[in-house]
Structure 1
Amino acid sequence: MNRQRGGGPGTGLGERAARRRFVTVSFLFWLPAGLGLAPMVLLLTERGLTLAAVAAAYAAHSLTVAVLELPTGGLSDVVGRRTVLAGAGALNACALALVGLGTAPWVIVLGMALMGAGRALSSGPAEAWYVDTVHAHAGPDAELRTGLARGSAASSGAIALGVLTGGALPWLLGLGPDPGAWLRASTSGLVLPLSVPLLLGVAVEIVYVVHVLTALTEPPRPAATLRGVLRGVPGAIGAGLRLGARDAVVRRILMSTGAAGTALAALELLTPGRAAALTGSPESGAVLFAGLAAAGFVCSALGSQLAPLVARLAGDGERAVLAGLGVSTAGLLTLGATVNAAGGVAAALAAAGYGLVYLGLGAARPSQNDLLHRRVDTGGRATALSVQSLAQQLVGAVAGLVIGVLPAGPLPWLLGAVVLLAGTLLWTRRAPAVPVPAPE
């Protein structure tokens, strides 16, 4: 085991340098997602899609992630983290361009599917790179929760910044006696004010790819061949699935992550329309939703930063997950209870509930992942993270389709709350201990 202060074998990085690069990659990857979050639903409805069709487009994204999660996670374990992350950025750049410029439903669905492919490629390699680098430097007992919390906080902060920018740009571009007329005229109607944040995200993705290729140094790997990849990926997938089947804690992580996916699907699908109905127009609704979403992701970043403290106060990681998910459940129930209420008090309660959902999820995720990393070794780390992301995307896709056809009112919100409550209650019982993986 190499424990020199300069870093792991072949990387030249210490723990602090690895943490900085992990935080930067996390920020750059999620900034384009934040830019598209506020205008996305409103842009698609402006293009003529119904809410059910928008839910189907989101399902195309989530189902693509679900199909590709395990193969791409195994691919990262075979060919390396940097190559896979760069591919994710390239796919996301293409996807944002298609969704931002597309007018036909099939183009939009294709863009959402490509975005799902990029998400599948990205879910796990950066975090696996960070954990591998820290373990190579300080050994398998190195403290991970702080770095994971900062990476999660950077992701949430990037989304918050992106949401504010993505919500404000369409509003600013729509100012004037004939909102957006100059933009539509100069681009033959392809670019609406709501499209601009997605196109800005394309530029950020290019910066992300360059940073990944230059900053994420890895130990030399054997040259990958098609036969080696095809042989190695199924083995990595099988190992990830066997881990989820035999380990009680990993099962709980997967099921509670799926429950969180339902909660997030409810927020993403229902909040933009609720904001637009309150303000009276899509552009002003995007501004309001941007403010709410940014506040939510600031709460998520705060929760992530507080995760080590929550774990210390709760006594261990499992109780910390229980506390975080409990807070999120309370927030979603509040949103459901206030959907038909009017007045300032109801609006304040709804905003507080929205923030609590993200605060709790942000506090729970680092402790969940710390528990996960202590049960896997480097050969299956990215695959295990992909299994976790698969649970969130697959359950979220199914929940989104159901939510899209439910009648307006508290029922869609309460569905998300009930599923999240079930995921929370999984952590009320202690799981049996399992052997720690052998040193890497």
Structure 2
Amino acid sequence: MSGRTATPEPGGDASTPRSPAPTGRGLDPLTARRRFAMVSFLFWLPIGMSIATGVLLFTDRGMGLAAIAGFFAVHSLTAAAMELPTGGLSDVIGRRTVLATAGLLNCTAFTLFGLAATAWAITLGMALMGCARALSSGPAEAWYVDTVHAHAGPDADIRTGLARGGSAMSAALALGTLLGGGLPWLLGRGPGVGEWLTDATGGLVIPLSVPALLGALVEIVFVLYVVSALPEPPRPRATLRGVVGGVPAAIAAGLRLGAQNTVIRRLLLTASTTGAALAAVELLTPRRAAALMGTAESGAVVFAGLACAGFVCSAVGSQLGPFAARLARSSGRAVLAGRGVVVLGLTLLGVTTGSTSGSATAAAVTGYALVYLGLGVAAPNANDLLHRRVDASGRATALSVQSLALQLVAAGAGLAVGILPLGPLPWLLAAAVVLGGALLWVRRADGSPQGDLASALPVPAGSASER
């Protein structure tokens, strides 16, 4: 963020709410951008490290497939249940405290994954990680936007910073996937290193658990960085009564967002279609890789590489997001373009299903890359539209509502994909759902504001708007 004021969206200057600027006024936008990107990188790096080894680690601990599916269900349901309450908590007690708490919960979860060999301990770790996921879904981004608005005004450019944060997240996932898959392999190939580690710890630590334990150490670094690098001005002292009263009010305001603003309603519906796309890709691609390679083990290696490439494409898309908005002359049209790319990618994956020819495989890989590229382009522009319509007192809550919409539809779409016959149908249905979300932006794709939301969101006592 250079500090220059961006050209507002058409019609945006008249009805965009003026934020009460709750975060550090002395921090310039460029510094805030760098710190937001670093926070995003540190939070997602340990999660990326767990992608390649998570299922294998639980299997090595003696857990069956049904139990592992149950572990992941605990994570998803906990995250969904806690999404709105924790978003409201961030708006009441502050961004930094909630982010640090998320890091501590993740640190505990990764430690349990690395050391535990019982189902109850892994279940507890999944629940803690789900809660951490809900806690982290809005505060860092809300802190960044609040800081920029406090320094440069509500019409300042935030797309570039949001894009950098998205790129940092994708880069962390890509690097983490490579580290998580490579470390156990290297330990196993070393001269007895893996066996020595297992024997020295009495089987408590095995090569597959090393990425989880290393992730716990990264989470400690994350917490220390959040506490030291994300300044917030003093807030009114949070009492139990204030938190209990303020969080439900923030939740109620979050649930009213879509009803009171047309653009936010489109954004929530668009986020929900993202859930359908991700459910199809994440559930169907591993099976497809295994079928292509002939064995599950070889398919897992191919999927790890493909997932890393997808995260890189998402990072590139995020970097292209501001350019797409300038080229299309609005964030709304950039969202439309990004979603169109996602539809094209899913369609390519669908029409090439069942074919193992070289051209079909190349088209499928291209489709996979396009899905993540399109999601990367659309995300910073969608959030730019959101932040111009929500003030600081409800910003994290709005992000939590957006995340909740994605997670709920992803869960439902995952169940649907699981019962549909394998073939083009699941891919093409996912493409149709995303297309429906994209068509919402064809009319008035400029995304101009439809009304002032400041009055719809609760303002904590002692905020700038009351002064």
- Distance in 2, matches of 1:284 and 1:141, equals 50
Show CA shifts across 1:284-307 (max 9, x none).
Answer: 544322221111111111111111
What residue is the counterpart of 1:75 in the other structure? 89
What residue is the counterpart of 1:24 in the other structure? 38
Q: Quote the offset at 1:64 in angstroms.
A: 1.2
Please list every run of 5 or more consecutive structure 2 residues that lacks an aligned counterpart in the other structure: 4-20, 455-463
2:377 paired with 1:363 = yes
- Structure 2 counterparts to residues 209-228 of structure 1, below 5 A: 209-228=223-242
Q: Quote the offset at 1:106 in angstroms.
A: 3.9
Q: Quote the offset at 1:415 in angstroms.
A: 4.0
- Distance in 1, matches of 2:63 and 2:425, equals 23
- Distance in 1, matches of 2:368 and 2:129, equals 25
Residues 42 and 341 from structure 1, CA distance in 2 versus in 1: closer, same or farther, beyond 3 angstroms?
farther
Residues 410 and 60 from structure 1, CA distance in 2 versus in 1: closer, same or farther, beyond 3 angstroms?
farther
Task: Tell me the amino acid that sits aligned with residue 92 of structure 1.
Answer: N
Q: Quote the offset at 1:48 in angstroms.
A: 5.8
Bigger shift: residues 78-87 or 275-284: 275-284
- Distance in 1, matches of 2:23 and 2:203, equals 53
2:85 paired with 1:62 = no
Residues 343 and 300 from structure 1, CA distance in 2 versus in 1: closer, same or farther, beyond 3 angstroms?
same
- Distance in 2, matches of 1:237 and 1:381, equals 11
Task: Tell me the amino acid that sits aligned with residue 249 of structure 2.
Answer: G
1:63/1:393 contact within 8 Å kept? no
Bigger shift: residues 329-338 or 95-104: 95-104
What residue is the counterpart of 1:198 in the other structure? 212
- Distance in 2, matches of 1:403 and 1:201, equals 31
What residue is the counterpart of 1:137 in the other structure? 151
- Distance in 2, matches of 1:109 and 1:349, equals 39
- Distance in 2, matches of 1:289 and 1:52, equals 21
What residue is the counterpart of 2:8 in the other structure? none
What residue is the counterpart of 1:111 in the other structure? 125
- Distance in 2, matches of 1:104 and 1:9, equals 43
What residue is the counterpart of 1:240 in the other structure? 254
1:52/1:401 contact within 8 Å kept? no
What residue is the counterpart of 2:273 in the other structure? 259
- Distance in 1, matches of 2:205 and 2:296, equals 15
Q: Quote the offset at 1:413 in angstroms.
A: 3.4
What's the TM-score once normalised by structure 1's chain length?
0.90
1:8/1:134 contact within 8 Å kept? no
What residue is the counterpart of 2:172 in the other structure? 158
- Distance in 2, matches of 1:316 and 1:43, equals 46
Bigger shift: residues 339-348 or 311-320: 339-348
- Distance in 1, matches of 2:352 and 2:62, equals 29
Number of residue pairs matched by the alignment: 435
Which of 348, 352, 355 is residue 341 of structure 1 equivalent to?
A: 355
Residues 9 and 195 from structure 1, CA distance in 2 versus in 1: closer, same or farther, beyond 3 angstroms?
closer
Residues 173 and 340 from structure 1, CA distance in 2 versus in 1: closer, same or farther, beyond 3 angstroms?
farther
Which of 149, 152, 174 is residue 188 of structure 2 equivalent to?
A: 174
- Distance in 2, matches of 1:96 and 1:413, equals 33
- Distance in 2, matches of 1:181 and 1:402, equals 43
Q: Quote the offset at 1:114 in angstroms.
A: 1.4
Show CA shifts across 1:181-240 (max 9, x none).
Answer: 555545555545433322221111111000001100001111111111011111111111
Q: Quote the offset at 1:414 in angstroms.
A: 3.7
Task: Tell me the amino acid that sits aligned with residue 130 of structure 2.
Answer: G
2:463 paired with 1:435 = no
Residues 402 and 47 from structure 1, CA distance in 2 versus in 1: closer, same or farther, beyond 3 angstroms?
farther
Bigger shift: residues 427-436 or 336-345: 427-436
RMSD of the alignment, in Å?
Answer: 2.7
Please list every run of 5 or more consecutive structure 1 residues that lacks an aligned counterpart in the other structure: none
- Distance in 1, matches of 2:93 and 2:360, equals 52
2:280 paired with 1:272 = no
Residues 347 and 9 from structure 1, CA distance in 2 versus in 1: closer, same or farther, beyond 3 angstroms?
closer
Residues 354 and 413 from structure 1, CA distance in 2 versus in 1: closer, same or farther, beyond 3 angstroms?
same
Task: Tell me the amino acid that sits aligned with residue 309 of structure 2.
Answer: A
Show CA shifts across 1:378-409 (max 9, x none).
Answer: 10000000101111112112222333444444
Bigger shift: residues 89-98 or 209-218: 89-98
